Homo-oligomer: A and B are copies of this chain.
Amino acid sequence: MKVAIVIFDKFTDVDLWLMWDLLNRVRIEDWEVRILGEKEFHLSTTNIEVKTHGKLEEANKADAVLFISGYGTRDRIADENWVGKFKLNPEKQIIGSICSGALILAKLGLLNGKTATTYPTTKTALESFGIEVVEKPFIAHGNIGTAGGCLAQQYLIGWVIENLVNKDWADLVIKAVQPVGEGLFFDDAPNLAKLYAAPTKAKTV
């Protein structure tokens, strides 16, 4: 299973690292998470330099492709060369976005006729694609999911893991980052050990 996270210059830091961290807690064999970009390094909105693991074209062969957010999304959807790198297949691939990443899904035509969610400051831009934007943290239609508000990555990534692995792994990974006393409890310690174990065969926790 390969999960691709697409980044670009001026991305929102937590939109990359929360999903990266969650996805890297899955411990099944052949599970791989890769950060893709058009350059060897990309700079976040706060000027943090992040090394990419591969080129954008890799996304076309991934089992899941996730588009993150940030000021940079506006530049990216205006760059036809960048947009043209993606030949995604929503019949075979799980495709998702957080916040303004939905603009990229819209530009790729993946949200046509669907409802979607995004960050409040991106609502008008997403509507300009003719998409009905709904005030929800996460909306999925088949293999396409959009999330709005950075911490709604929990719902997006839970959905990705449930689809690619199973619900037990999704629930365990999301539980593992909840605040103590609010979804995560001291009695959960033995279960959390599974997140630190060696990878197991897929479809089992």
Cα-based distance from A182 to B133 in the complex (angstroms)? 16
**Cross-chain contact of A120 among B17, B150, B180 (Cβ < 8 A):** B180
> A121-B192, A188-B120 are known contacts. Are A179 and B149 too (CB-CB below 8 A)?
yes
A119 is an interface residue with CB less than 8 A from chain B: yes
Q: List chain B residues, Cβ under 8 A from A203.
A: none
Beta-carbon contact of A49 and B46 below 8 Å: no
Please tell me which stretch of A18-26, A56-64, A85-93, A103-111 contacts chain B, meaning at least 4 of its Cβ atoms lie within 8 angstroms of it. Answer: A18-26
- Per the 8 Å Cβ criterion, residues 145-191 of A in contact with B are 147-152, 154-155, 176-189
> A13-B21, A21-B12, A46-B24 are known contacts. Are A150 and B177 too (CB-CB below 8 A)?
yes
- Please encode chain A, from 1 to 36, with 1 for each CB lying within 8 Å of some chain B CB and 0 for all others: 000000000001110111011101000000000000
- Closest beta carbon of chain B to A53's beta carbon, Å: 10
Q: List chain B residues, Cβ under 8 A from A46.
A: 20-21, 24
CB-CB nearest in chain B for A137: B179
Cα-based distance from A178 to B12 in the complex (angstroms)? 14
11 contacts between A and B (CB under 8 A): A13-B17, A14-B22, A17-B18, A20-B46, A120-B180, A120-B184, A120-B186, A137-B182, A149-B178, A149-B183, A155-B179
